[in-house]
Amino acid sequence: RGGSLSPTNNNGNKWHYQLAASATLAEVPTTPIPGMKPGTSGLRKKVEVWQGKDDTANKYYVENFIQSLLDTAQANNGGEMLQTIIVAGDGRYFNDQAIQIICRVLAANGVENIWVPQGGIMSTPAVSAAIRTRDGGAAQGGIILTASHNPGGPGEDFGIKYNEGYGQPAGEEFTDALYERSMKISSFKTMEGSPDIDLNAAPGTTFSLTPTSTVTIIDPFAEYLEVLKSCFDFDAMKDFAKRPDFSIVFDGMHGAGGPFARRILVEELGFPKESLMRCDPRPDFGKCHPDPNLTYAAELVKKMGLKPDGSADESAIVEDLPTLGAANDGDGDRNLIAGAGCFVTPSDSLAMICDNWKAIPHFARAGGPKGVARSMPSSAALDVVAEALNIPFFSTPTGWKFFGNLMGSKEQFGKRDYTPFLCGEESFGTGSDHIREKDGLWAMLAWISILMDVNKDTPPGQPLVSVRDVVEKHWEKYGRHFYCRYDYEAVESDAANKMMDLIRDQFVNGDLSTIPDDGSGIKLVGAEEFSYTDPVDGSTTSKQGLVLSFVDGNGEPARVVFRLSGTGSAGATIRMYLERYEQDTSKHGESAPVALKSLADRAIGLVQLVELTGRDSPSVIT
């Protein structure tokens, strides 16, 4: 690719680069590439597919996908091409090359303003914030290069997802239309001979790719920081961070969340830089699986004085442990929360944030959240708090986009306004209506705020009220929802589907009274397939998980949900979600996987998981 973008003037250190003389707008013939159907959160494929390496028919994989995306967005926008789009990624392998390709396609299609963060990296929540508020207005969309918590690097995953103008992931209608379009595409537009832009240029630097299309390098942090400042009391946190007995550790898992943690926790709030681990983004996430759960965040889990199953390691000295620990996934939207010797399950964390709403200015200003929601497979810990506080509550299908509708304003939907809104998922996602994505760092700041609040009367020198104290008190008040999840990764798709069909045939549509006892005393008493009708737009989503209801040996209710993951890129991942309610405080100390083991065994036996999949143990328990 010849030519160069040459600087024309220097304004401070912000340069303006003119259109390269050699660049020409080209319409390149192409053919549809099958399989471009976005899943729960964008299109994810092995990076070699995106690079067009595995097959010459895939040569223009990125171009085909982006052209289909733009055509769909344009059709949705009354036939007008979008004017402003942000392009950013989580820094995984192929991030920078993909940004360059995408900028050329956007420019050739007439997108006037293309915003790219300095370095090309932004966490998903930061992109959502920037789409919503940048320049006092909003971008019309965001193209986010991420496969979230899936590993990166050669042989691993790459993904692209699209967020619409309010900063929320595009809905199914959009992604279905995009897929349709991708099956009909016959050409794409690009700028040929247009050299790469300098992703490391100073914010404010602009590059003219055509006479009407400009790429502007933006500050990745600005809008996100503002939004977080509107949610939390930064001054009070800054003071609290000074307490010598309060310490944190944040694990960025070498993903996009790291630089944001540095900017906010260290530079803004004044925590020592030693509080950060793995906060430098790497294309292969340092070869780790950037999913913040008990299995993949093992190092943090250990640092927090926990055993791999999440129970307290009795040999750890609590006084030497950090007060609060958190990890983020590859694109910084997921979170794991732990206190010293205390793992907080995502479902519990959500319920506890809800119960402690007064500690969070965003909620406190409004007298508490006006609506709360959890995904169906998440535990009912939130439900009981919502009931006690008399807050409207929703159980939605898995996928953050289902929360977005509920956060809409009265003006948009002519119905109720549920904001401020609080929501979360068992899959380590927590957040609110401050943006339209889950937000890993937000969850950590929420927990810092809770600890500040419960310690407002703890004088210096006195032991702090700990995360464990908060958790135990909560269970005392509401009972404990024991919860854990088994994942069976890379199962053969046919086998996984057979198992789901068996559950449908034998339990959802079958006769439960004929099921033989296995001596465990755990009885299956109900089965259904979850479907959801959106209370705002009336749309229905079906086949969202198979729910088995049990009564355990003591007559207490228990539940097991089976669901196939929607975020993988090869084979199938079976998720088995286990939950059991326990009122009795004397039993709350038990470790969750232990407390749920017999329920798990019973369910595995009933659905013939071992026989059908050949797996006698899960890949992950979290």
Q: Is 330 in the site for ligand G6P (CB under 6 A)?
A: no
Is residue 339 within 8 A of residue 323, CB to CB? The reply is: yes
Q: Using CA atoms, how far apart are residues 530 and 475, in angstroms rounded to an integer? A: 28
Please report whether residue 399 would count as binding ligand G6P according to CB under 6 A.
yes
- Decide whether 171 or 429 has the Cβ nearer to ligand G6P: 429
By a kind-dependent CB cut-off of 5 to 8 A, residue 331 interacts, out of Zn ion, ligand G6P, none, with Zn ion
| Binding-site member from 60, 221, 232, 400 for ligand G6P (CB under 6 A) | 400
Cβ 573 to ligand G6P shortest distance, Å: 6
In angstroms, rounded to a whole number, what is the distance separating the alpha carbons of residues 129 and 333? 12
Q: Does 123 bind ligand G6P (CB under 6 A)?
A: no
Tell which one of 233, 251, 329, 425 touches Zn ion (CB under 5 A).
329
The total number of residues written for the chain in this structure: 622
* Contact predicate 87/280, CB 8 Å: no
Q: How far apart are CA 194 and CA 588, in angstroms?
A: 63
With vertex at residue 568, the alpha carbon angle to CA 221 and CA 183, rounded to the nearest 5 degrees, is 90
- Residue closer to ligand G6P (CB basis): 209 or 353: 353
Choices 262-270, 280-288, 460-468, 561-569 (CB under 6 A): range interacting with ligand G6P: 561-569
Q: Which of residues 203, 535, 566, 571 is near ligand G6P by CB under 6 A?
A: 566
* Residues 89-128 as x/- pattern, contact with Zn ion by CB under 5 A: ----------------------------------------
Q: Which of 41, 68, 123, 148 is catalytic?
A: 148
Q: Which residues contact 423 (CB under 8 A, 6 or more apart)?
A: 350, 372, 373, 374, 403, 406, 430, 431, 432
Residue pair 159/42 in contact by the 8 Å Cβ criterion = yes
Q: Nearer Cβ to ligand G6P, position 125 or 341?
A: 125
Tell me which stretch binds ligand G6P (CB under 6 A): 190-198, 234-242, 396-404, 513-521.
396-404
Residue 429 found at the interface with ligand G6P (CB under 6 A)? yes
Q: Which residue is nearest to ligand G6P (CB)?
A: 565
Give least dist CB 302 to Zn ion, A.
Answer: 23
Give me the DSSP letters along 365-434.
TTTS-SEEEEETTS-THHHHHHHHHT--EEEE-SSTHHHHHHT--HHHHSS----SEEEEETTTEEEETT
In this chain, which of 45, 132, 485, 575 binds ligand G6P, going by CB under 6 A? 575
Measured between alpha carbons, how far apart are the two ends of the chain, in Å?
A: 48
CB closer to ligand G6P out of 92 and 575? 575
- Is position 567 an interface residue for ligand G6P (rule: CB under 6 A)? yes
Catalytic annotation present for 148: yes
Please name every residue paired with 207 in a beta bridge, in sequence order, or none if there are none: 17, 215
CA–CA separation, 8 and 10 (whole Å) = 7
Contact residues for ligand G6P, defined by CB under 6 A: 40-41, 148, 375, 398-400, 425, 427, 429, 565-567, 575
- The residues annotated as belonging to the active site are 148
